[in-house]
Structure 1
């Protein structure tokens, strides 16, 4: 089992999305973003089966002592050399690559990528999502935006309209019908990417697509994250935490990163202290978009030593 972190499109999909500047805001629908059409009256049998499946997955992981929400503790010490190594693997490699018009899992070296303009997170809901659940999701997204802004020192906040980082909360039925919504919030999106999002299979829990312009391929200007509403609460929050953080410029996973959500072992459900350090390093002014691992490594060591009080 794993979540999907569909590759950053900053480099991999420039041919399809190189014209994506900051998109015009979609029409307002009362502060919550557009609702996917056609509206769902009742979830399909497939969507109900998804909900049962994800409920079972969450319970199984919790029974195994996974999906921790404590952020790490005495059992997960963080040392500088590991922090540098984890940063290199998570920030300076891609998890997915574009091949034959489709995204395939393949670890490939990359350069440092991040946002330069302010990040504005906007939630979009399928019609199946009750209003009280939308309110909880908006509140969670706003709290998380504040935490990310504090960790990075970058301007990040949740908005009701005019966003450039779109978080879609959809069930399986609405996922299939999301093409019109995707074209509305991102007019230059490719048909291939729409197919990827609308057909993402059940074993892919959630996904994020970060997008840049051809003239600045290492600077993100927009993003789309997809979160399944069939998830029970903790898996839903976990998807939001991981995909939004990845969409800021940490696109890969590492099997040795700990304590971290950027590890497919699912030990941690929510952003950890270690992950906040990675974000702080990523947005430090001593690094710049486009740096290679060799160029970044000396500065990364300085940053890690500073965060941890000296070499370790």
Structure 2
């Protein structure tokens, strides 16, 4: 389930997880000027999985045999045979193009027999107005359900027993519910994560930075790690109904076959202990709190737990990141130190390029506000490559606009204006309209006046 898009203009500029829905029908019509991810970013270039096969095997078991609520799933489940997928509801502009691009990736990178149809299908993607979604499921921007084929069917019995993933072995049908009035990027992000979970594991894990199945929302399009997990999950040596132990016994051979270059991957210390619920609750409360003071208090609680657990992974880095984002104005130096520490942790983690780019966005914003323009150029140059490869238009355009502002202050006005023009298509893709893109440009310009 892709959670509420949490990042607002906190600290300096957002980490680009928050892509607000357009407020008016005029804004919705502007979205039709956006162009597809294929046109913006070219052929997919996901980062290859960087973890060892031993770690990936553990990751798959934790992703596949536990729900996000923490409930255990007793048996392995998936679709068997070819999978048909259809779009229905208030289908937004570019949804068909983005879906077809996703299907092409699933076929070529994960080896899955998936096709889009107009009739009956195993997976239905229904686009529903955001307001209607939130009346029924307030905490999610999109989600996937088993054993239903329409929003109306789910709405008629939202707590029915047949909606329990934990009792399913062979999947027969699934419903992906996505907002009809989202930005193109959020619509694309929902398609990637929810379709992947319909076809593979259902859980999200904060400790894995190289996957969309992480509620930090740093990764937005399916990664090389995700495609390997899907390929392994649908391997013929696994069958619906297997226990966790049975799947675990077969995964080493499956991954050795699918990922023979694992020997070159960075090894991690295996951590078999599930993340404490208290830490997850503190993170979620920090992101959902109604004011910055409460967000900071919850972020500090999460950071204390991470330090007590002696973590050195994404959970500590994300705790530091949130503590910095929500730090009171008088704790600027502490916030900067926390961001630097988070960037260092992400740099040492497999697949850490994209999470680090989000941290560098905040570091660049602080450097811009303090007049350190060469540092802005260095940070944005380092982060723009991962932002482009992960196909994150909101992140990439924000980095470009930060860089343009620094160039302008250094007297390189022509370069700055060219960069702002180049950023506009990515900003419309990420933020939803030209007006929203202009608002982001103005927010970044205002950093110098703070």
Normalising by the residue count of structure 1, what TM-score does the alignment of the two structures yield? 0.62
Residue-by-residue CA offset, 1:256-284 (whole Å, 9 max, x unaligned): 22310111111200100000000110111
Aligned match for 1:263, one of 185, 196, 214: 214
> Is this contact kept in 2: 1:121–1:145, CA < 8 A?
no
CA distance in 1, matches of 2:58, 2:116: 31
- Structure 2 runs not aligned, ≥5 long: 19-43, 149-161, 264-450
Paired position in structure 2 for 1:3? 2
* Aligned CA distance change for structure 1 residues 66 and 226 (closer, same or farther; 3 Å): closer
CA positional deviation for 1:138: 0.9
* Aligned CA distance change for structure 1 residues 72 and 62 (closer, same or farther; 3 Å): farther
Which structure is higher in helix share? 2
CA distance in 1, matches of 2:261, 2:175: 38
SS of the residue corresponding to residue 84 of structure 1 reads helix
* Aligned CA distance change for structure 1 residues 302 and 3 (closer, same or farther; 3 Å): same
Structure scoring higher RCO (CA < 8 A, sep ≥ 6) equals 1
CA positional deviation for 1:139: 1.5
> Is this contact kept in 1: 2:53–2:262, CA < 8 A?
yes
CA positional deviation for 1:219: 0.8
> Is this contact kept in 2: 1:71–1:268, CA < 8 A?
no
CA positional deviation for 1:211: 2.9
Paired position in structure 2 for 1:111? 75
Which structure is higher in strand share? 1
CA positional deviation for 1:120: 1.1
Paired position in structure 2 for 1:19? none
CA positional deviation for 1:58: 7.7
CA positional deviation for 1:66: 6.4
Paired position in structure 1 for 2:182? 231
CA positional deviation for 1:107: 3.0
Aligned match for 2:59, one of 78, 86, 104: 86
* Aligned CA distance change for structure 1 residues 71 and 152 (closer, same or farther; 3 Å): closer
SS of the residue corresponding to residue 224 of structure 1 reads strand
> Is this contact kept in 2: 1:117–1:221, CA < 8 A?
no
Match status 1:120 vs 2:115 = no
Match status 1:204 vs 2:140 = yes
Paired position in structure 2 for 1:145? 103
CA distance in 1, matches of 2:170, 2:253: 23
Residue-by-residue CA offset, 1:191-219 (whole Å, 9 max, x unaligned): xxxxxxx6111x311110123999x9411
Please report the RMSD computed on the Cα atoms of aligned residues, expressed in angstroms.
3.3
* Aligned CA distance change for structure 1 residues 59 and 290 (closer, same or farther; 3 Å): farther
> Is this contact kept in 2: 1:152–1:284, CA < 8 A?
no
Paired position in structure 2 for 1:304? 255
SS of the residue corresponding to residue 303 of structure 1 reads helix
Paired position in structure 1 for 2:157? none
Residue-by-residue CA offset, 1:23-54 (whole Å, 9 max, x unaligned): xxxxxxxxxxxxxxxxxxxxxxxxxxxxxx96
CA distance in 1, matches of 2:115, 2:204: 25
CA distance in 2, matches of 1:138, 1:266: 23
* Aligned CA distance change for structure 1 residues 249 and 308 (closer, same or farther; 3 Å): closer
SS of the residue corresponding to residue 244 of structure 1 reads helix
* Aligned CA distance change for structure 1 residues 114 and 58 (closer, same or farther; 3 Å): farther
Paired position in structure 2 for 1:275? 226
- 1:26-105 alignment, distance < 5 Å: 57=7, 63-64=14-15, 71-72=46-47, 77-95=50-68, 105=69
| Alignment coverage as a number of residue pairs | 222
CA positional deviation for 1:311: 5.8
Normalising by the residue count of structure 2, what TM-score does the alignment of the two structures yield? 0.44
> Is this contact kept in 2: 1:58–1:235, CA < 8 A?
no
> For the pair shown, which has the larger CA radius of gyration, 1 or 2?
2
CA distance in 2, matches of 1:301, 1:110: 20
CA distance in 2, matches of 1:261, 1:268: 5
> Is this contact kept in 2: 1:72–1:273, CA < 8 A?
yes
- Structure 1 runs not aligned, ≥5 long: 5-52, 96-104, 177-197
